[in-house]
Structure 1
């Protein structure tokens, strides 16, 4: 944590940097719009006043069980009002919210329990094995609250009823007091806890409202299509700041028809998701069966959107797409591409492939391996500084040393800026492979493959090769009823990308493995290639279907 260790040159004495506790957002909205609906799931609705009272009761219940400022509370839950409330209950006490992706395994959640130093756990009743694993890995967990009746903990709603009408003072917090451990996806190793703070997140919320959803008011409505544990949770925190109602799907299973039906029924004005879900929503027939004229902002992040998918979504929805680029460590606040800059045609002046320009208050620097800033058009690592950058990884000095250089946060993504400051992402540094001495960034070839009318999805990764050092392997998913084989695709690619960028092998699968957030995970693609006997390439390949 940062502190003012000495007075600056002007002689001003150090002062406490107290900031608003984020749970005050809910209190503010309950005062102004208490009778309005704030949360919806299926047939159930809760007003802002009811949500605030329930948060007060749960905060009182946690306090009665010894939870205090700085304690970490592990939360393993599907989306629901209780998970939503648990965030604010933790904030209200000055405790740290530690949500998991509920699709993780018990062993993965046990690691989060241990590494976060959790002292209590809130868990959905469907996950008793997760409680057992977490308590074994983290004996410091003193008690468990169960969302729904279970044998492993006190019932959440019963505790809310028991403590109804009670409240605790909202904890005073300073700018760098942690509020949320945002676990990274762990694509290159164990997940790391990015420490988000009250002061940082106040900036993030303001920035989201200015750059992503200008003009947002309590008359708006937001649809949740992803777990509240990560980006969708940040998005909903932003909605609370302006009294925007949150609408959840009825079940945990994604259903495009239900999503569009909810858009029409609740007059949804914004939603946050990832490119693969945008693709699924806009390619599903139900997009034409429901009124989505209320939608102003379809916000997507987590990965750049392939151009062909972008064009299709724009033709279906109009100019409502908003792209932002930013890792969990920067809570999405690096660049933005607003609706006005999303075009359906690749005309002169259209910046095809960009993820936008710098967010308000944020600065991007493209750097080489030594930290030297590169010129416009030169590819290097995307580095960033500004108030949205997290406080660092919890209890992980080695990771912090690697992540920061001269005050810049190193994203691990590669890209370049143009003369106007628009950012173009080439890919993850870890995705790049070297074939015959030349750097190959798979995304360029992936974009080209996706223009083939038979291809729905593709992932390319570099694999060892005795002749060239590394070569590319492509895994494709065909569109329904389409037919295509490896020689046909490779022949079609001839002349469209340089020969050294062509994949050596192409496999066709029914589906690509995806993370719990809907992103294609290349480490799982690689593991599946190995499991199917497709790797290493110098061995006879098995059937790829």
Structure 2
């Protein structure tokens, strides 16, 4: 980090735009083929867009909401905001009525919205009913009672091959604001929304560049001569931010979702990895296990990755089946939008025998991790408690929310439960918010999920709370079976009784009262299982009253 510790994102965009300028920076794949943005393209187009923003009255520090899917235009819009000296915010929509993005823009005092007016079911079609629009071709003045700070909308048409947005940018006028400080807020990320409205997490230029350097050094050590990385995470998410170009000049390969979602997502992803000769891919655990099971798909291509990086949820043993077949190693990372990367661990053919469920690994450079009890006192090794994090990449607050889970001495309360073993390896046992209040006892569901996962015929399972008038919560097992397997509720309950009776006091009955079978589980945009939605579905099926 020493080489650019005092730089900003705008400095890095300018640096790479002038260093081997014709080298590809972003490669997008869609059903229409391949689209390349060179380093020079990124600097040229984003500085031209920055000029347009300044003409619209966007000033340094203003918040600009970008409501676009993964696409080349999204990169240029995001970097254009940075070059204008403004703050880019992820325009996330999880609610069909658009109330969540409206509330986010209100909290952030957003001044400008960037969206594609022609995108089917996009942000504009969902949110335009909130606005009074005053006309315009490439942009319009707007008024919004619910977001008084909002002044204009910029139209970013992503339809290919017209590339209307790029062609509309001024050909001669460019702008780069060089007055931002590393400590200034650069980006506002949104959380997954699993706890209601999304929280807004601001990060500075310094924090993002520090994270980029950490990612590149850690992954690069296991990827020989890395030049390109495939990333499955959306650009607007903390895990999908273009760290790798900014820190190391790596090419980033992504899917252009403005043209729709591929019918066979796994086949499409694997074809891209092979076509681009990718040696380093960042995939969700769902994608890793899915690709690994499609033997005919990956064997026919004769391609193997050096490293697959994954994170966002506890690592399961099924992901390690890819080692020696589609990849040399699997790197699992634990972190969050608020703190960035916290721990990591590498598995190869030599150490897969060391795997234990929910291993998150060891703290990365510059990060401190401790486990505390309910009184915030640090506990002994192997004792369960809440995970606290301290590092220079921890966000300083949630925008528009006076409550922040950061203690006075800089420790961030993650809300995650876990423990560290005697070697300092971190294990994640679940969210404190996922705790099931079962009478006088508290059950963290991942513990019981591990027990149930041993049942032959069960592909996946999640334990969720359902209401009970006496115990507050009863336990419901939501189960997905392997193909052509037939198990009944009694079969599963009998299995659980056999697994837990020897090690659990009879007074603490953690055997599920209910079992519900699912073909698929609801997931968030972050690829994590949506436990709250799953619990809601179970409650509806069981016809239980939540009051």
Q: TM-score range by the shorter chain?
A: 0.7 to 0.9
State the TM-score, normalizing by the size of structure 2.
Answer: 0.86
Q: Provide Cα deviations, 1:275-299, integer angstroms capped at 9, x if missing partner.
A: 2232223223423332332x22211
Structure 1, unaligned runs of 5 or more: 1-16, 539-545
Q: 3-state DSSP class of the match of 1:527?
A: helix
Are 2:23 and 1:31 aligned?
no
Which residue among 333, 339, 342 is the counterpart of 1:334?
342
Q: 3-state DSSP class of the match of 1:246?
A: strand
Tell me, in whole angstroms, the C-alpha distance in 2 between the residues paired with 1:103 and 1:327. 19
Are 2:312 and 1:302 aligned?
yes
Tell me, in whole angstroms, the C-alpha distance in 2 between the residues paired with 1:169 and 1:217. 35
Q: 3-state DSSP class of the match of 1:406?
A: coil
Point out the more displaced range, 512-521 or 490-499. 490-499
Q: 1:290 to 1:452 in 2, by over 3 A?
A: farther
1:496-535 to 2 correspondence within 5 Å?
Answer: 496-498=499-501, 500-535=509-544
Tell me, in whole angstroms, the C-alpha distance in 1 between the residues paired with 2:308 and 2:129. 38
Contact 2:216 2:247 (8 Å CA) reproduced = no
Contact 2:61 2:87 (8 Å CA) reproduced = yes
Tell me, in whole angstroms, the C-alpha distance in 2 between the residues paired with 1:269 and 1:172. 38
Tell me, in whole angstroms, the C-alpha distance in 1 between the residues paired with 2:22 and 2:94. 34
Are 2:369 and 1:358 aligned?
no
Q: 3-state DSSP class of the match of 1:157?
A: helix
Which residue among 65, 78, 81 is the counterpart of 1:90?
81
Q: 1:101 to 1:144 in 2, by over 3 A?
A: same
Q: Provide Cα deviations, 1:342-373, integer angstroms capped at 9, x if missing partner.
A: 8443xxx5555310000100000111122111
Which residue among 432, 442, 447 is the counterpart of 2:435?
432
Contact 1:477 1:511 (8 Å CA) reproduced = yes
1:390-401 to 2 correspondence within 5 Å?
Answer: 390-397=395-402, 399-400=403-404
1:203-222 to 2 correspondence within 5 Å?
Answer: 203-214=210-221, 220-222=227-229
Tell me, in whole angstroms, the C-alpha distance in 1 between the residues paired with 2:54 and 2:9. 18
Q: 1:298 to 1:63 in 2, by over 3 A?
A: same
Structure 1 partner of 2:108:
116
Are 2:303 and 1:292 aligned?
yes
1:99-110 to 2 correspondence within 5 Å?
Answer: 99-101=90-92, 104-105=95-96, 106-110=98-102
Report the count of equivalent residues.
508
Tell me, in whole angstroms, the C-alpha distance in 2 between the residues paired with 1:457 and 1:369. 31
Point out the more displaced range, 284-293 or 205-214. 284-293
Structure 1 partner of 2:261:
253
Structure 2 partner of 1:459:
462
Structure 2 partner of 1:47:
38
Q: Provide Cα deviations, 1:396-436, integer angstroms capped at 9, x if missing partner.
A: 22x22x44353210000011111111101111001122334
1:66-465 to 2 correspondence within 5 Å?
Answer: 66-101=57-92, 104-105=95-96, 106-124=98-116, 125-126=118-119, 127=122, 128-133=124-129, 135=131, 136=144, 137-148=146-157, 156-160=165-169, 163-214=170-221, 220-234=227-241, 236-249=242-255, 251=257, 252-253=260-261, 255-285=265-295, 286-293=297-304, 295-307=305-317, 309-314=318-323, 316-331=325-340, 333-340=341-348, 343-345=351-353, 350-397=355-402, 399-400=403-404, 402-465=405-468
Q: 1:193 to 1:89 in 2, by over 3 A?
A: same
Tell me, in whole angstroms, the C-alpha distance in 2 between the residues paired with 1:437 and 1:131. 45
Structure 2 partner of 1:541:
none
Q: 3-state DSSP class of the match of 1:334?
A: strand
Contact 2:27 2:253 (8 Å CA) reproduced = yes
Q: 3-state DSSP class of the match of 2:437?
A: strand
Tell me, in whole angstroms, the C-alpha distance in 1 between the residues paired with 2:301 and 2:157. 34
CA RMSD of aligned residues (A): 2.6
Q: 1:341 to 1:24 in 2, by over 3 A?
A: farther
Contact 1:366 1:415 (8 Å CA) reproduced = yes
Contact 1:378 1:416 (8 Å CA) reproduced = yes
Q: 3-state DSSP class of the match of 2:220?
A: coil
Point out the more displaced range, 111-120 or 311-320. 311-320
Structure 2 partner of 1:3:
none
Q: 3-state DSSP class of the match of 1:26?
A: helix
Tell me, in whole angstroms, the C-alpha distance in 2 between the residues paired with 1:250 and 1:230. 15
